[in-house]
Copies of this chain bind each other. A is one copy, B any other.
Amino acid sequence: MEHKFEEKLQLLPAGEIDARLGKVTAAMAQADIDSVLISDNANLFYLTGRIFCGYIYVSRNGGLRYFLRRPSILTGDGVHRIRKPEDMGPLLADTVKADTRVGFTVDDTPYSTVMRLRKAIGVTDIANGSAVMRAARSVKTPMEVKLIAESGTRLSDIYRQVPRLYREGMTDIELQIEIERVLRLHGCLGKFPVSGTELEIFMGNVLTGDNADAPSPYDFAMGGAGLGPSLPVGANGTIIRPGKPVMVDMNANFDGYLADSTRCYITGDCPDEARRANDLSRRICEAIANAARPGVEARAMYELAMNMVAEAGMADFFMGHRSHAGFVGHGIGITVNELPVLAPRSRDVFAAGNVIAIEPKFVIPGIGAVGVENSYEIMAEGPARRLTDAPEDIVSLD
């Protein structure tokens, strides 16, 4: 089957589509699912390299069908223009009849849309196609790793520029806005893709002082009160003061693939407690990067971190103080919350090609948030490869 995409739309090379499809069909076999009807943007992007309004039907029996509502970016076998979901029914009738378990992207598509799609293609039971796609996407292709690594390099270059963006008397949000501007001028798309609908954030977090300890509605490593009750996370207008670290954790979505990295900065003298916590964070990152090898359980990384934290007597400040986030790292890629998850109840096992962010962070009362976050590729052999290389010390803003 051949598909011909309009050239200038930068869609994926044919070999890359095949590699990704291979991962998807393997995950489908593992889950005993015959086909998946994809309707969410992240997964449409994964299988085409482009977001469009439409659907993709992937069948283990070999069928790959594109249904395009707009724009008309693709022609060839198995490509259909449709006006509405119901137009898929007759086109898919034979395929659906042969597929006994059909998955839908149920974790990222509204209930009413899934119900309409199910009826449109004549399926009775709904299997979890989101879980299949999450599993497939957890192991990146070399091209995906390269894109994430490029995002990591670009973000790290901008983190090196933060001291020249700082001016005395600035608030957290004022510094964040200058970082946002430089990110955008260097090609950052701004959009912060998240799986599911619950988490909301705008381009990242800059936290200083006590605001780091404000509890957030989201399961983020760090909170922050935010600028208003409709977006209660992140910077809240706190003036950056001498001796109070500034934690910078910004969006690095340059090309549809995210890197994730955090660095800390300070004006004036750095308190010893902050430096010690930051050093511990670095050592945890290194220990996890060294331990995270194919076949190792992801939850063991959380235990490893907790042991190091307990030994240092820092458990009260780890991943928050007033409230604690229950993880130390997470997969990244097209969205910021992919598999594997480095958390106590995680069932994930590392595989070569996983890309993860490790973020052991501390909130110290009276001082603020400190810690580093890096992105890593899990390698077939040896320690995980770091993809974010800005200096890891608490950097002076002066």
Smallest CB separation, A6 vs chain B (Å): 11
6 pairs from A and B in contact (CB 8 Å cutoff): A51-B229, A52-B232, A71-B323, A111-B113, A189-B228, A191-B230
Known: A50-B229, A111-B126. 9 other contacts (CB 8 A): A53-B198, A69-B217, A70-B216, A71-B216, A71-B217, A107-B113, A177-B185, A187-B227, A191-B200
Contact of A108 among B40, B52, B110, B256 (CB under 8 A): B110
Task: Select from chain B the residue with minimum beta-carbon distance to A178.
Answer: B181
Q: Are A231 and B114 in contact (CB under 8 A)?
A: no
Contact with B along A120-162 (1 / 0, CB 8 A): 0000001010100000000000000000000000000000000
A297 within 8 Å of B by Cβ?
no
Q: Are A110 and B202 in contact (CB under 8 A)?
A: no
A9 within 8 Å of B by Cβ?
yes
Residues of chain B within 8 A (CB-CB) of A216 are 70-71
Contact of A230 among B51, B72, B108, B217 (CB under 8 A): B51
Q: Are B203 and A190 in contact (CB under 8 A)?
A: yes
Q: Are B181 and A70 in contact (CB under 8 A)?
A: no
In the complex, A44 Cα to B114 Cα: how many Å? 23
Contact with B along A47-73 (1 / 0, CB 8 A): 001111110000000000000011110
In the complex, A191 Cα to B70 Cα: how many Å? 25
In the complex, A69 Cα to B323 Cα: how many Å? 12
Task: Select from chain B the residue with minimum beta-carbon distance to A256.
Answer: B230
A112 within 8 Å of B by Cβ?
yes
Residues of chain B within 8 A (CB-CB) of A30 are none
Residues of chain B within 8 A (CB-CB) of A323 are 70-71
Contact of A111 among B106, B178, B231 (CB under 8 A): B106
Residues in A82-102 with C-beta less than 8 Å from chain B: none
Q: Are B198 and A197 in contact (CB under 8 A)?
A: no
